[in-house]
Amino acid sequence: MGKLLATRLISLLPLLFLVSLLTFSLTALLPQEPAALKVGDNATPEALHEARKELGTDRPWVVQYGDWAGNAVTGDLGHSYFSSVPVTRQIGDRIGITLSLTAVALLISIIVGVGAGILAAVYRGSPIDRVATVGASIGTATPAFWLAMFLASQFAVRWHIFDATGYVRPSESISGWLKSLVMPATALGLAGAATLARQTRSAMIGVLGREYVRTALASGLPRRKVITRYALKNALGPVLTVLGFQVTFLIGSSFVVEKVFGIEGLGSLAVNAVLRHDAPVIQGLVIVIAIVVVVVNLLLDMLYGWVNPKVRAS
């Protein structure tokens, strides 16, 4: 297992290298050179020259990339054009918020989506199946942030069950933390659950038609056990694949949903950076999120080997 993990980690290096290269070359698309952005439109040529030197943009492209990537490896993502706080700190302050929101949302979408998918497959053609299928269709078409607005208007504004805005850090209060996450994570999670439910349903229907399920029934295992202990593990393969996409979907959507609840996660950082062409912050965000996604997919790969021993062997 350790050896497998090590080889997987090494094989990820070229991918991360490409991501960093793409991210770095984003600056080439800026409408103005970084130094001009930093000093503003009314700066003197001397100030501009000074800024170029400070940013290092007067050096060759390859040297700039090497410098940036080298620093990034040591955890230094540079400085914002407009603030003295290091990008690494800015991201570090907020990433916990985005990750906890995404993780709770993922949990909700797995419970709701996989559960509904199994029920729909087992009771295929029944009213349960129809409700789940229609629900999933509507769910995939619903903007998560609109669902979030709806939840906020009902549970916070009308019934005062939850606070409409704000985030409580787990270090302050665990229960307060969970309470502040319930609504945003539910809105995010339900949107994700729709896709998972569809995938689980079709994977499960495929598995339930397989010969080995008949074998399990023929050896007298009760229906419920055949579904939960045997068929589910077979159906998890395609579900895990979708789960990988779900994680990227949820991280992206969390950027929008957090605005509804006034939560200051990576989303608000990103929007502020976007509005000001603050390239170092944008680049830092992209790299950090890519690493998160890669790590999550690595974990999913390991799980995939568990549900599909054939893959593990090869």
Partner 1 sequence: MSEIAVEGGTVLAPEEMRESSSVWRRLRANRAAMVAAVVLILILAATIFASLLAPYSPDKQQLLNSLASPSKAHWLGTDDKGRDTYSRLLFAGRVAFEVSFLSVGIAVLVGVPIGLFVGLRGGWWDRIVMRVVDAIMTIPPLVSILALVGVLGVGIRNTAIALGVVFSTGFLRLTRGEVLAVREEAFVDAARVTGLSNRRIMWRHILPVAAPPLIVQATLMLGAAMLAEAGLSFLGVGVQVPDASWGSMLASAQAVATINTFVAIPPGLAILVSVLCLNLVGDGIRDAMARDAPAGLFSRRRRLRVAGLLSAIPANQPLVRVGDQVASPPALLEVSGLSIGFVVNSRMLPAVSDISFAVAAGETVALVGESGCGKTITALTIPGLLPPPGTITSGTITFGGNDLLDLDATEMSKVRGRDIGMVFQEPGACLNPAFTVGDQIAAPLRTHLGLSKRAARARAIELMERVGIPNPERRIGQFPHEFSGGMAQRVMIAIALACEPKLLIADEPTTALDVTVQNQVLDLIASLRDELGMGVVFVTHDLAVVADLADRAVVLYAGQVVESGPVAAIFSDPKHPYTRALMRSVPRNEPRSTDLVGIAGSVPQLGAWPVGCRFAPRCELATDECRALPIQMDRDGDHEFRCIHVRDRLPEAVGSQA
Residues 114-143 binding partner 1 (CB under 8 A) are 122, 124, 137-138, 140-143
Smaller CB distance to partner 1: residue 45 or 309? 309
Min dist CB 155 to partner 1, Å, is 12
Q: Is residue 89 involved in binding partner 1 (CB under 8 A)?
A: no
Considering only 39-47, 112-120, 178-186, 266-274, which stretch makes contact with partner 1 by CB under 8 A? 266-274
Tokens of 233: 């593990």
Q: Does 14 bind partner 1 (CB under 8 A)?
A: yes
What tokens were used for 72?
A: 């990034």
Question: H/E element holding 21?
Answer: helix 2-24
Contact window for partner 1 (CB under 8 A) among 1-9, 68-76, 83-91, 214-222: 214-222
Question: Which position among 15, 63, 107, 174 is part of the footprint of partner 1 (CB under 8 A)?
Answer: 15
Return the range that interacts with partner 1 (CB under 8 A); candidates 1-9, 69-77, 87-95, 265-273.
265-273
**Mapping DSSP to helix (H, G, I), strand (E, B) and coil, where does residue 86 land?**
strand
Minimum CB–partner distance for residue 188 and partner 1 (Å): 12
- Contact indicator for 183, 152 with CB cutoff of 8 Å: yes
- Contact assessment for residue 131 and residue 284, using Cβ atoms and an 8 Å cutoff: no
One residue of 5, 26, 161, 303 binding partner 1 per CB under 8 A: 26
| Using rule CB under 8 A, residue 53 touches partner 1 | no
Which amino acid appears at position 24 of this protein? F
| Closest approach of partner 1 to the CB of residue 231, in Å | 8
Which one among 8, 53, 169, 214 touches partner 1, defined by CB under 8 A? 214
Contacts to partner 1 from residues 154-213, by CB under 8 A: 157-158, 164, 205-206, 208-213
Of residues 42 and 219, the one with the C-beta less far from partner 1: 219
| Binder among 58, 217, 228, 303 for partner 1 (CB under 8 A) | 217
Site for partner 1 in 269-308 (CB under 8 A): 270-271, 273-275, 277-279, 282-283, 285-286, 289-290, 293-294, 307-308
Nearer to partner 1, 48 or 140 (CB): 140
Residue 149, helix vs strand vs coil: helix
Among 197, 216, 240, 263, binds partner 1 (CB under 8 A): 216
Least CB distance to partner 1 at residue 13 (A): 12
Estimate to the nearest angstrom the gap between the alpha carbon of 237 and the chain centroid. 20
Q: Is there a contact between 185 and 104 (Cβ–Cβ < 8 Å)?
A: yes
Amino acid residing at 179:
K
Could you tell me which residues are beta bridge partners of residue 93?
A: none
- Which whole-number Å values give the CA distances from 229 to 95, 233, 240, in the listed order? 36, 7, 17
What is the residue type of 92?
A: G
**114: which residues sit within 8 A by CB, 6+ positions away?**
196, 197, 200, 239
- Give phi and psi for 286, each to the nearest 5: -60, -45
Residue closer to partner 1, measured from CB, 19 or 87: 19
β-bridge mates for residue 23, sequence order: none
In this structure, the number of other CB atoms found within 10 A of the CB of residue 25 comes to: 12
Binding residues with partner 1: total (CB under 8 A): 81
